[in-house]
Amino acid sequence: MSVLDLGIDLGTANIIISAGRSGAILNEPTVIAFDKNAERVVAFGTEAYKMIGRAPEHIAVIKPLKDGVISNNDMAQELIRLCILKVIGKRLINPRIVMCVPSGITAVERKAVVESAVSAGARTVYLIEEPVAALLGAGEDIMRPFGRMVVDIGGGTSDIAVTSLGGIVAANSVKKAGNAFNASIQRYIEENYRLSIGERTAEDAKITTANVFWPSEEKKMVVSGRSLVTGLPTKIEISEADIAAALTEDIDQIIAAVRTVFEKTPPELVGDIYDHGILLTGGGALLRGLDMYITREFGVKCHVADDPLGCVARGTHLAFKVRDKLRNGFEKARI
Ligand SMILES: Nc1ncnc2c1ncn2[C@@H]1O[C@H](COP(=O)(O)OP(=O)(O)OP(=O)(O)O)[C@@H](O)[C@H]1O
Ligand SMILES: [Mg+2]
């Protein structure tokens, strides 16, 4: 039986599996579709994502993670199993797996993650905290006696941490990230334009028409939905300024969470962060203007990692190499 080491970033929005030198070998939305009549899974990943809001009654399109943690055990296990099978094919392998988890998850939530990996055939399971993985994956040297700050904004959680000497010094996690942004956009359009729009339309607006630092009234897009007044299909124009207004409260909550991490960080390390800057990772890092917004709030340069969506996955896999040097935020799970 051959040996295979897999890094799995089981995110609220995306599941990414990395192995070997090639890096990511699977990248799928964290979605699974279950046929309630036939009692079987009919699609997962991208195929299941396409069914969101469009599936017939008997097919449940399920997102098995909520706010960074598993909310549907059976479906999460099934999704991980299918993803691992897709990666290893028919080879007879019991891989060693590093899974990443948001910092500050409960023992029960941790157990669900470990069980899902074991049920998928893992021989050994390690857990790494998301911000540590994000820094490793962005190529930061976190082993030195030097403060590094990362803000990882995913789909479910925003994880903030300061590391030094291979360990977490201060951390915080809030349940405000990409999904909450979408919900806020939907709510804003409902309240201000009396139009009900779907989640995917909100996601589209966030990606194409957001600028939270310097929003323009001129940059517009057309969104369609159902009018709350007439009940009929309607199209309206919204601008960057609308999206920025919709997201202000969420972003301010993330800023407040970063502030508490600064407050918990010893002054020498705060000085290091001042010199080195704040690293922004996760899909939310791509929200236009967010880096400049954070820079302005703290007077510390904030920069977006190269490939922010892939950092945690890359770091999760890289953790195998440096696992002896990681002081905390990394552990072997008992199974
Ligand atoms: N260009 C973009 N602008 C704004 N947001 C984006 C952009 N591209 C992706 N996103 C958002 O990034 C989020 C997904 O990021 P990521 O894959 O890092 O999350 P995750 O790891 O699955 O979630 P979590 O870590 O919270 O469990 C989604 O909410 C998506 O809408
Ligand atoms: Mg993530």
- Per the CB < 8 A criterion, the answer to whether 102 and 133 are in contact is no
pLDDT tens digit string along 145-191?
999 999 999 999 999 999 999 999 999 999 999 999 999 999 999 99
- For the chain, what are the domain ranges? 5-132+314-332, 146-176+251-309, 178-246
Looking at residue 55, its amino acid is A
Point out the ligand nearest to the CA of residue 69: 1
Fold equal for 5-132+314-332 and 146-176+251-309: yes
- Per the CB < 8 A criterion, the answer to whether 131 and 168 are in contact is yes
Q: What is the mean pLDDT of the chain?
A: 93
Point out the ligand nearest to the CA of residue 182: 1
Write the residue with the smallest CA distance to atom 29 of ligand 1: 178
pLDDT tens digit string along 226-238?
999 999 999 999 9
CA distances from 76 to 10, 50, 335 (A): 9, 18, 18
> Taking the domain 146-176+251-309, which CATH number applies?
3.30.420.40
Q: What is the pLDDT of residue 1?
A: 41
pLDDT tens digit string along 93-115?
788 999 998 887 888 888 888 98
Instruction: List, chain by chain if needed, residues with CB within 6 Å of any ligand 1 atom.
Output: 11-14, 68, 130, 154-157, 177-179, 203, 206-207, 282-284, 286-287, 309
Write the residue with the smallest CA distance to atom 10 of ligand 1: 283
- For a mutational test of ligand 1's pocket, the pick from 8, 14, 16, i.e. the residue with the most ligand atoms closer than 8 A to its C-beta, is 14
Ligand 1 mean position, distance from CA 264 (Å): 27
In this structure, of 51-55, 274-278, 303-307, the range with the lowest mean pLDDT score is 51-55
Ligand 2 mean position, distance from CA 101 (Å): 8
Residue 148 CA to residue 168 CA, distance in Å, equals 10
* 195 or 326, greater pLDDT: 195
CA distances from 268 to 179, 207, 272, 294 (A): 35, 37, 7, 21
- For a mutational test of ligand 1's pocket, the pick from 28, 207, 208, 316, i.e. the residue with the most ligand atoms closer than 8 A to its C-beta, is 207
Structure tokens at 94: 């019991």
What ligand 1 atom has the least distance to the C-alpha of 14?
A: 22
Indicate if the pLDDT at residue 41 is higher than 50.
Answer: yes
Write the residue with the smallest CA distance to atom 11 of ligand 1: 283
Mean pLDDT of 31-57: 95
Q: 282: alpha, beta or left, given left = phi > 0 and alpha = psi -120 to 50?
A: left
Residue 244 CA to residue 288 CA, distance in Å, equals 10
Indicate if the pLDDT at residue 299 is higher than 50.
Answer: yes
- For a mutational test of ligand 1's pocket, the pick from 151, 247, 286, i.e. the residue with the most ligand atoms closer than 8 A to its C-beta, is 286
CA-based torsion, 84, 114, 279, 147: positive or negative? negative
Mean pLDDT of 318-333: 82
Non-local (6+) Cβ contacts of 151 within 8 A are 158, 159, 160, 254, 258, 278, 279, 280, 281, 285, 294, 302
Indicate if the pLDDT at residue 2 is higher than 80.
Answer: no
**What is the assigned CATH class of domain 5-132+314-332?**
alpha beta
Structure tokens at 266: 């010893």
Ligand 2 mean position, distance from CA 333 (Å): 20
Write the residue with the smallest CA distance to atom 21 of ligand 1: 11
Write the residue with the smallest CA distance to atom 25 of ligand 1: 154
User: Is the pTM for the entire model greater than 0.75?
Assistant: yes
Q: Kindly indicate whether the domain formed by 178-246 is annotated with CATH number 3.50.50.60.
A: no
Non-local (6+) Cβ contacts of 160 within 8 A are 131, 149, 150, 151, 152, 171, 172, 173, 257, 258, 261
Which residue from 199, 155, 160 is spatially nearest to 12, judged by alpha carbons?
Answer: 155
Residue 116 C-beta-side C-alpha neighbours within 13 Å: 32
